[in-house]
Structure 1
Amino acid sequence: MSRKVRLALLLPGLMLLLFTSGCWSSKEIEDLSVYVGLGLDVAKETEFEKSVNEQGGHYPKRNNITATVQIVPKGSSKEESQQGSPGAGKSYFNEQLTGDSVIQIFRQFSLRRDRPLIGHHLKVIVVSSEVARKFRLDQLLDFVLRDNDIRPSCLVVVSDRRALDALTSNDPSEIPSFYLTGLVDNVYRTNKILPPVSLAKLDATMQSGSSYLLQNVISYEGEHKFSGAAIFSGKTNRWIGSLNQTDMEGLSWIQGKAKGGVVKTYTHKDGSTITYEIKHIKSKIIPTVKGDDISFHVQIESDGWFMENWTAPEAKGSEHYVDGLEKDFGHMAEQQVEQLLHKMQHVYKVDAAGFGDKLRIKYPRVWKKIKSNWDETFSEIPITYDIKVKITNQGSSTE
């Protein structure tokens, strides 16, 4: 190959280098504090904050909220890696500051951490029911909804107590933020877990003005459990109450979104336990409008397995016997639905199950007239339902 040809081939490559951008603005992850959890509580200054404020380390603010950031890896700064430091031996580190602006609190962390916070890997936001009762949820989350660093796919849950409790674990190898997001994956095993509510989905729901639910977390001495759901008013975006686990089962029947779950009842003869495992639920909410009268009918069908029988001796699975079990399981499901509807219509007076959406789709003109006071209207609307349970498998049995 001649010298001129080699130069001709080399020149375009050299020119391309001039237009190739480098990572001039990149920051090594070792130089950052990666936080994976964010907790929001009613203001409660830490001893550190009280001490530095006495030394003149305060700035103009009102103590409205305390923000907790869960940072991983734990040893993200030299001081924290030392033995005996707060959180030593753990896989994470919780740090708190108090104020009246979430973004200002985040920037205040820059005054006490040598490595700035980065939220690209935020997994979960935990809001305490106490702070959600005091402030609107759209106020509390306004910064995280605007911040481009935070992924809109992160999970949002409510803590029955302080959010800090839900972000604390007694297992040093466990990162609570990952643990909470992992619990959502068990939805195929139980109908007591809400479909995950991401930050993006929550933003759209708050904008719609409809009342909604968020998964509730309860904690005790560093252990956690999903239990029920927090109810938020669509008008105020504030916490107004909660549903228990039985209510969640009733909700799963109405919405037909359950991928698993168990229905338990007892025999009429001796009170022995018998159990049905849900495999599929199909539900249809049918709105009807006649003049000014609105009503709903919910058609629910489920198939599953007969999985546990405590009768002794065990009753044989005759067709008549199975028909009786299906009716008993269906009756239990009806009780769960009835309990949920009573709470929504007569206790909290909100539609958190999606009835309004069905009315809006089928009768848009009617919806337009009543949507501004839908929760109040919903509390007076008659709702009927029909539940059919089918046992498709009785499992293995020993003779």
Structure 2
Amino acid sequence: MKKKAVFALMTLFLLSGCWDSTNIEELNMAIGYGLDKGDDGHKLKISMQVLVPQKIEQESSVKDPTKIIETSGDSVHQIFRTTTLKSHRIFAQQLRVYLFSEELINENNFDLVINQFIRDNETRRGSLVFMTSEKPGDLLKINDAGQPASSTLYDLSANTKSTIRMFKPVSLGDISSAMQNNVSFAVPKVGVDQGKLILDGASIIKNRRFLTSISPLAVQSYNLLTGDGKGGVIEFEYDHSIYSFEIFKLKHNIETNKTASGKYQFNVSVALEGRLSEDWNERENAFNEKYLQEIEGVVERRIEKNVKDFIGELQHEIKADICGFSQKASIAYPKDFRKEAKHWDEIFSESDIRYKANVKIRDFGTKGATQSL
């Protein structure tokens, strides 16, 4: 079914105009780019995942309807022109993902690497961007039961309502905007788990270079700090038992103030409503209001501790504001911020950030007390 849909899309693309029509056998439609350090002394290598019409037309025995075209060079534009020496012209109007190696962005300014993509009128600024510590070209060769890697990554990024440990999707346009505003930011990171692609935390960009990575658990704290979390499960241990709290609703608020000494103070509050979806305590009694209040208090304290630890890591170890506090400061104190923008990460590292969580269990499923009542 997926192959039929792709074939139909390609057919519509060709029918959009006939004066410069291209035979379908000669059409290369890129759905993913992987950018890495170049081979043989070159600055860059681009791995292009391209749909192959002949493979789509074949029987379902074809495991992956794409091919990988890899070319090294010293500029993106020249790499594309060099690629035409060994392949038909590549169309990128349906490009879904960019996958950058952390090593490449550690050694080159991110804005320079994407410069050609931003300048090109045919580039889709909505294409999603990912980072990896692996070789991007190798990851693009991983398929999941016939689904190309680029499609897999694109689909995985839509699961933010299912897990709070996933970093929000980031587009090429988002990255361009962040670098124009000279702010630190983060990008979803891709890894491999048992031969399958996995979204594995996030990569932090500071001063246009890759700085460090954070784990999925740290991403959970990020989502609870910024309010970007849309759903998912918070797992915790209490009284020698495992619990799971499923988020139904998340409300987020930030109050921005400045002390007499000029120090920023951010008061962050989050209100969570959800369900006690799992409880391994043999003495549990979810029908008891005091029991639920006890668990609510436990969830609040665990969230607050984890988020405060994460804030400390951002301020004192990473020293980068990837959470958007700069935007809050620019809105609350626009005149001051214009003077502070160039060294905002240093100001952020000295700011007073307070965090408070309020948790309410609205549901505990069809199960109540396991003990005799």
Normalised by the length of structure 2, the TM-score is 0.88
- Kindly state the Cα deviation for residue 345 of structure 1 after the two structures are TM-superposed: 0.4
| 1:170–1:121 CA distance, 2 compared to 1 (3 A) | closer
1:119 aligned partner: 92
Do the aligned partners of 1:276 and 1:306 also contact (CA within 8 Å) in 2? Answer: yes
Q: Please give the alpha-carbon distance, in whole angstroms, between the structure 2 residues aligned to 1:75 and 1:346.
A: 55
Q: Please give the alpha-carbon distance, in whole angstroms, between the structure 2 residues aligned to 1:315 and 1:221.
A: 39
The percentage of counterpart residues that share the same residue type is 28
2:73 aligned partner: 99
Compare CA radii of gyration and give the structure with the larger one.
1
| 1:187–1:314 CA distance, 2 compared to 1 (3 A) | same
- Kindly state the Cα deviation for residue 196 of structure 1 after the two structures are TM-superposed: 1.3
SS of 1:299's equivalent?
strand
Report whether the alignment pairs 1:359 with 2:332: no
1:277 aligned partner: 246
SS of 2:158's equivalent?
helix
- Kindly state the Cα deviation for residue 316 of structure 1 after the two structures are TM-superposed: 4.0
1:143 aligned partner: 116
2:277 aligned partner: 307
2:10 aligned partner: none
Q: Which amino acid counterpart does residue 188 of structure 1 have in structure 2?
A: K
Q: Which amino acid counterpart does residue 283 of structure 1 have in structure 2?
A: H
Report whether the alignment pairs 1:248 with 2:219: yes
- The counterpart of 1:153, out of the listed 108, 118, 126, is 126
1:27 aligned partner: 22
Q: Please give the alpha-carbon distance, in whole angstroms, between the structure 2 residues aligned to 1:323 and 1:179.
A: 41
Q: Please give the alpha-carbon distance, in whole angstroms, between the structure 2 residues aligned to 1:336 and 1:230.
A: 19
SS of 2:343's equivalent?
helix
Q: Which amino acid counterpart does residue 349 of structure 2 have in structure 1?
A: S
- The counterpart of 1:261, out of the listed 225, 229, 232, is 232
| 1:280–1:107 CA distance, 2 compared to 1 (3 A) | same
1:318 aligned partner: 288
| 1:172–1:91 CA distance, 2 compared to 1 (3 A) | farther
- The counterpart of 1:68, out of the listed 16, 28, 47, is 47
- Kindly state the Cα deviation for residue 178 of structure 1 after the two structures are TM-superposed: 0.4
| 1:381–1:171 CA distance, 2 compared to 1 (3 A) | closer
SS of 2:84's equivalent?
helix
- Kindly state the Cα deviation for residue 95 of structure 1 after the two structures are TM-superposed: 1.3
- Kindly state the Cα deviation for residue 89 of structure 1 after the two structures are TM-superposed: 5.0
Do the aligned partners of 2:256 and 2:332 also contact (CA within 8 Å) in 1? Answer: yes
Q: Which amino acid counterpart does residue 104 of structure 2 have in structure 1?
A: V
SS of 1:240's equivalent?
strand
1:48 aligned partner: none
SS of 2:350's equivalent?
coil
Q: Please give the alpha-carbon distance, in whole angstroms, between the structure 2 residues aligned to 1:91 and 1:284.
A: 46
2:34 aligned partner: 39
Q: Please give the alpha-carbon distance, in whole angstroms, between the structure 2 residues aligned to 1:275 and 1:172.
A: 31
2:208 aligned partner: 237
SS of 1:145's equivalent?
helix
Do the aligned partners of 1:263 and 1:277 also contact (CA within 8 Å) in 2? Answer: yes
- The counterpart of 2:350, out of the listed 380, 394, 397, is 380
Do the aligned partners of 1:187 and 1:258 also contact (CA within 8 Å) in 2? Answer: yes
Q: Which amino acid counterpart does residue 179 of structure 2 have in structure 1?
A: M
| 1:256–1:172 CA distance, 2 compared to 1 (3 A) | closer
Q: Please give the alpha-carbon distance, in whole angstroms, between the structure 2 residues aligned to 1:356 and 1:289.
A: 13
1:332 aligned partner: 302
5+ residue gaps, structure 2, are 1-16
1:252-293 CA distances to partner (integer Å, 9 max, x unpaired)? 11111211121122232xx11111101111111211112322
What is the aligned length?
349
Q: Which amino acid counterpart does residue 257 of structure 1 have in structure 2?
A: D
SS of 1:111's equivalent?
coil
2:6 aligned partner: none
Do the aligned partners of 2:47 and 2:69 also contact (CA within 8 Å) in 1? Answer: yes
Q: Please give the alpha-carbon distance, in whole angstroms, between the structure 1 residues aligned to 2:195 and 2:75.
A: 28
Q: Please give the alpha-carbon distance, in whole angstroms, between the structure 2 residues aligned to 1:75 and 1:136.
A: 39
SS of 2:157's equivalent?
helix
Do the aligned partners of 1:170 and 1:221 also contact (CA within 8 Å) in 2? Answer: no
Do the aligned partners of 1:264 and 1:276 also contact (CA within 8 Å) in 2? Answer: yes
- Kindly state the Cα deviation for residue 35 of structure 1 after the two structures are TM-superposed: 0.9
Q: Please give the alpha-carbon distance, in whole angstroms, between the structure 2 residues aligned to 1:116 and 1:92.
A: 15
Q: Which amino acid counterpart does residue 30 of structure 2 have in structure 1?
A: Y
1:314-348 CA distances to partner (integer Å, 9 max, x unpaired)? 33431111111001111111122122212210111
- Kindly state the Cα deviation for residue 140 of structure 1 after the two structures are TM-superposed: 0.9
Q: Please give the alpha-carbon distance, in whole angstroms, between the structure 2 residues aligned to 1:338 and 1:74.
A: 52
Q: Please give the alpha-carbon distance, in whole angstroms, between the structure 2 residues aligned to 1:33 and 1:335.
A: 51
Kindly report the root-mean-square deviation, in angstroms, between the aligned alpha carbons of the 2 structures: 2.1
| 1:136–1:29 CA distance, 2 compared to 1 (3 A) | farther
2:266 aligned partner: 296
Q: Which amino acid counterpart does residue 278 of structure 1 have in structure 2?
A: I
Q: Which amino acid counterpart does residue 44 of structure 1 have in structure 2?
A: D
Q: Please give the alpha-carbon distance, in whole angstroms, between the structure 1 residues aligned to 2:233 and 2:55.
A: 44
Q: Where does 1:6-25 land on structure 2 (aligned, <5 Å)?
A: 23-25=18-20
Do the aligned partners of 2:226 and 2:323 also contact (CA within 8 Å) in 1? Answer: yes
